[in-house]
Amino acid sequence: MPDLSIFKSPAPYHIIAYGTLLGTEFFQTFVGGIVSYQALPRPQFSQLQQKLFPVYFGLQTTLPAILALTYPGSRTSLGPSSGISGTFADVNRWTVLAPIATIFVTSAVNMLYCGPETTRIMRKRKVQETRDGKKYHDPAPQSTEMQQLNKAFAWMHGASSLVNLVGYIATIWYGFSLAERIS
């Protein structure tokens, strides 16, 4: 009969959470977003992203917390303990805590600020399109208000993308740290 004690260990849950996080980040950043942008008309792409991003940012914020809670500590009596105390152990400051905290913070920034602010600017642009009688992406000339909204959107979208990329790099950093333990 197989040993079922592994179900009591945090290790498989940790690996599953890490794999889900990395896969979700990779797919949304480098596949889903790009393919959707190329395949869909702008209004439908915008609607899709407005529905996907809250789910994506929510997962991206929740999964690092799960990683911190399920950290599988060392099996020796000298190593740090499992779970949150192992995550916060001094020996794990740069290999566990820093990347997991970075992932959590960057995701929370996107979920709580960049995402909602980008959506707010998009809605204002939609109102401005009605006022101006032309789309935000129509050729110049654009109204001063639309130019300002387009600039604000570009800045906020760029900030969100940069924050997302920092979180993705931290996820990979943690993956190398995790892999180092497998020997």
Q: Which domain holds residue 89?
A: 7-180
The per-residue pLDDT for 3 is 78
Mean pLDDT of the chain: 93
- Residue 1 within a domain: no
The per-residue pLDDT for 8 is 85
Q: What pLDDT band is residue 2 in, cutting at 50, 70 and 90? A: confident
DSSP letter string, the chain: ---GGGGGSSHHHHHHHHHHHHHHHHHIIIIIHHHHHHHS-HHHHHHHHHHHHHHHHHHHHHHHHHHHHT----SSTTSPPSHHHHHT-GGGIIIIIHHHHHHHHHHHHIIIIIHHHHHHHHHHHHHHHHHHTS-TTSSSP--HHHHHHHHHHHHHHHHHHHHHHHHHHHHHHHHHHHHHT--
The per-residue pLDDT for 183 is 67
Q: How much is the average pLDDT of 109-128?
A: 96
Q: CA distances (Å), 47 to each of 37, 42, 108, 136, 183, in order?
A: 11, 9, 22, 16, 46
- Residue 133 within a domain: yes
Q: What pLDDT band is residue 31 in, cutting at 50, 70 and 90? A: very high
The per-residue pLDDT for 4 is 82
- Residue 162 within a domain: yes
pLDDT tens-digit map of 168-181: 999 999 999 999 98
- Residue 143 within a domain: yes
The per-residue pLDDT for 79 is 61
The per-residue pLDDT for 81 is 79
The per-residue pLDDT for 1 is 61
The per-residue pLDDT for 181 is 83
* Exposure b/e, 9-43, CB count within 10 A at least 16 = b: ebeeebeebbeebbebbeebbeebbeeeeeeeeee
| Residue 67: Cβ within 10 Å count | 25
- Residue 127 within a domain: yes
User: Contact, 141 vs 81, CB < 8 A?
Assistant: no
- Residue 165 within a domain: yes
Number of domains in the chain: 1
Global confidence as pTM: 0.91
- Residue 31 within a domain: yes
- Residue 2 within a domain: no
pLDDT tens-digit map of 62-100: 999 999 999 987 655 666 678 898 999 999 999 999 999
